[in-house]
Structure 1
Amino acid sequence: MPGAAGPDRAAFRQQLDAAIESIDAQLRAAHEAREQALPACRRVIRAAGSSIRSVHRLEADRAAALAAEAEAALREAQEALAPFPEVAYAGFLHDAEKEYAEARFTAALVAGGVLPGPAELGVAPASWLRGLAEAASELRRHALDRLRDGDLSAAETLLGVMDDAYDSLMAIDYPDAITNGLRRTVDALRAVLERTRGDVTATAVQARLQRALEEAQGI
């Protein structure tokens, strides 16, 4: 019995070449988008970090300008990667979103402002949550600065904000694949929160003892 006829090699090669050409064009476009988005994401992270440092220095205008710079770079990265979700989900874009959200949150929490939501910030929900956790951790530095300035009341308020953020984030209980490792960030916040609570408590106790001593001495 004669064997089955093989494929028409000319037709097969034509189909193969067409498929490879199409795939190559798609991968080239994705690669070009990635090459555009990566430096934009690095700019986001640099500007957001500088914005947070400006918040701690009480340079509100500079902090806002740097946060706006971070946002512009983030939008550039998001636009470049929008047609390529497989690249956008690689991680670096979410990290940039998280850093931008952290900068905005740190400024809002220090100023006592309202937190913008994920849609308002233009970031993924998981990036929003991770940004909040890291912004709450950043409040430790600000609380210590207030303690050094002798403003115990402000430090206690910041500690309360950190506590509220931690309690709210603890209610988010989903796998890391959904939250991009939120649990690890919240665990780190817990450690920062407890150290800050210890510092604020020690200062409060010392202040009460000092007042009691002054009252006893009739000062």
Structure 2
Amino acid sequence: MLEPILVEDCTYTKLVPSLEIVLNDLNENSTHHDYMVALVIVLLAEAGFYLSSTNNNYSRPKLKSLHVPKDWKSQETGVYEMYFQPETVPDIKCKLVAFPLGDTLILNFFPLIDGKITYTITVQTLKYVNPYSSDLCGRYMRLKEISYRFKDKLSTPVRSDILHKAGVMGPSLQAFPTELKLRILRLLDVCSLKRMAQCCSEFHELCSDAQLRRYIMLEHIGGRGNKATGEQR
């Protein structure tokens, strides 16, 4: 059987090594929320976010060197707070805050940048953690589901915001340079441009660019007239 690489590859008999290493930092008094947040540490690492170093010497982290911070949870409130650094832009830090509410865990993740957006998901911990299992492999359930949900709703949007802020190319449209975004918008028709303007404030501003709108009008409205009369442009 192949060795699992990502959390979603875990089986009932074999955990991914990075998760197994993190769980070694927990003890018999650890709660189901502890196990969930430990899982989140690994999911963030898979997405390129690693626990912030206490020194200024940044070194490329490894999945097999993950750990649970000693001060990860307030003993008074039970709230978890940790700082992370994206591997691609280590100068920008992010913060994870997890609030336990009964058997529910509210996860908040956001970059420490101007105009930050806080991304939030609510997790029913007992849906993914079995606190009564006698072995670690049976401690988790539905790992593929929580992995996809976490990355889609938290880590991917935060990474896009960071890359956009840093002006670094990324896998999302939002992370593209403004020049490239405008080039893409020039390929749209009038109706599509109106829809793009409704996506977010950034694209509303870009779609309102006078030169872009003039180009669209000439290309899609003026161009139709030229084609109808057989004129060459």
Q: Which has the larger radius of gyration?
A: 1
Q: Give the alignment's TM-score, normalised by structure 1.
A: 0.31
Which structure's residues are more often strand, by fraction?
2
Task: Tell me: higher relative CO, structure 1 or 2? Use CA pairs within 8 A at least 6 residues apart.
Answer: 1
Which structure's residues are more often helix, by fraction?
1
Q: Give the alignment's TM-score, normalised by structure 2.
A: 0.30
